[in-house]
Amino acid sequence: MSIWFTEELHSYYRKGIHVQRILADEQTEYQHLQAVETEFFGNALILDGIIQLTERDNMGYHEMIVHVPMLAVKNPRRVLIVGGGDGGSLQQVLRYPSVEEAIVCELDQKVVETSRKFFPAFGDPWADPRARLLVRDAFGYLEENPGQYDVIISDTTDPIGMAERLFSDDFYKLMVRALAPGGAAATQCEQPYFDTTLIKTIYASAQALSKNPAYYYAQIPTYPGGGIGFMYVSNTPWTDGLDKPYPPGVNNYINPDVHRAAFALPEFFRRELYG
Residues known to be catalytic: 155
Give the helix/strand (H/E) hosting 231. strand 227-234
Query: Alpha-carbon distance 99 to 150, whole Å?
Result: 10
Rg (CA), the chain: 18
The conformation of residue 246, written as its DSSP 8-state character, comes to: P
For residue 127, how many other CB atoms are within 10 A of its CB?
8
Distance from chain centroid for Cα 156: 6
Q: Is 136 exposed, middle or buried (0-12, 13-18, 19+ CB in 10 A)?
A: exposed
Reading phi first (left if > 0) and then psi (alpha if -120 to 50, else beta), residue 83 is in left
Distances (CA, A) of 202 to 123, 165, 169, 192: 33, 12, 7, 12
> At residue 130, what are phi and psi to the nearest 5 degrees?
-80, -15
By C-alpha distance, which of 53, 105, 69 is closest to 84? Answer: 105
Q: What angle do CA 146, 31, 192 make, to 5 degrees?
A: 70
> At residue 203, what are phi and psi to the nearest 5 degrees?
-65, -40
